[in-house]
Structure 1
Amino acid sequence: MRRLTLLFLALFLFSSLTVSVGAEPHYAKWGTLAVAETQKRYHANIIDYKYMGRTEIMAKKSEEKFKLWLKSKDGHEFGVFVTVQYDPSTDAIQTIQFKVSDQS
């Protein structure tokens, strides 16, 4: 079931994030990573996704931020802010941070 959910989300993200035919937004790769890592960490269904933006911290560090809305198996809904820090010249991941929020 989790694989099916993750596959569905990956397909949804790919199709909904496409700006024009053949074009993929710069954050699509990081959004897919944020979804996969959040699914692994919280074992809950991801029911919504929002790209929050990019911050360039310094020459070798950028951040992509996302907010995901999850629903646990017991029906509890909560938000998770996911920040992916990486080296923009190599795309090497430096950190992935999670912050839980009960507010929408």
Structure 2
Amino acid sequence: MLLKLIRVVSIVLCLMVIPNLSSGDGTHILHAQQEIPSYAKWGSLAVRKTKERYPNAEIVDYLHIGKEYGTKISTEKFKLWLRQNGKEFGVFIDIQFETESEKLLDIKFRETDR
């Protein structure tokens, strides 16, 4: 019972102190919540499909190149950098989908040495 009371008091004290943290120079630290980018689900798909296509490779870098908007079909473009058997190479991934419904249409892979 006493331990439970001490734990509750400790938590309450922490909750009272944490919002008042400052950086030491009098400015307050604010922790903003990051917004999830619109391409996040396509990026996850690009990583997952790349792992399936190159199961023995390690993904060492990830880049969202951009989106090509179309009235009917749009394309999200990514570049992943892979390491496999001591060799590094890039893979461009283009994910095509219906613009309005976001239904997946096609995924294209293209290797590059840069």
TM value normalised by structure 1: 0.75
Cα displacement (A) at 1:90: 1.0
Give the corresponding residue for 2:98.
87
Q: Equivalent of 2:68, from 34, 38, 55?
A: 55
Cα displacement (A) at 1:29: 0.5
Cα displacement (A) at 1:60: 1.4
Cα displacement (A) at 1:22: 5.4
Q: Following the alignment from structure 1 to structure 2, what is the Cα–Cα distance between the partners of residues 22 and 100?
A: 32
Q: Following the alignment from structure 1 to structure 2, what is the Cα–Cα distance between the partners of residues 55 and 33?
A: 17
Q: Once the two structures are aligned, what percentage of the paired residues are identical?
A: 44
Cα displacement (A) at 1:75: 1.2
Q: Equivalent of 1:33, from 24, 45, 54?
A: 45
**Deviation string, structure 1 residues 17-58 (Cα, Å, up to 9, x no partner):** xxx6252111001000000001100121100000100001x3
Give the corresponding residue for 2:25.
none
2:85 aligned with 1:77: no
**Deviation string, structure 1 residues 72-97 (Cα, Å, up to 9, x no partner):** 1x111100000000012111101000
- Structure 1: runs of 5 or more not aligned: 1-19
Q: Secondary structure at the match of 2:35?
A: coil
Q: Following the alignment from structure 2 to structure 1, what is the Cα–Cα distance between the partners of residues 95 and 67?
A: 10
Give the corresponding residue for 1:46.
59
Q: How many residues align structurally?
A: 82
Counterpart code for 1:88: T
Q: Following the alignment from structure 1 to structure 2, what is the Cα–Cα distance between the partners of residues 63 and 94?
A: 10
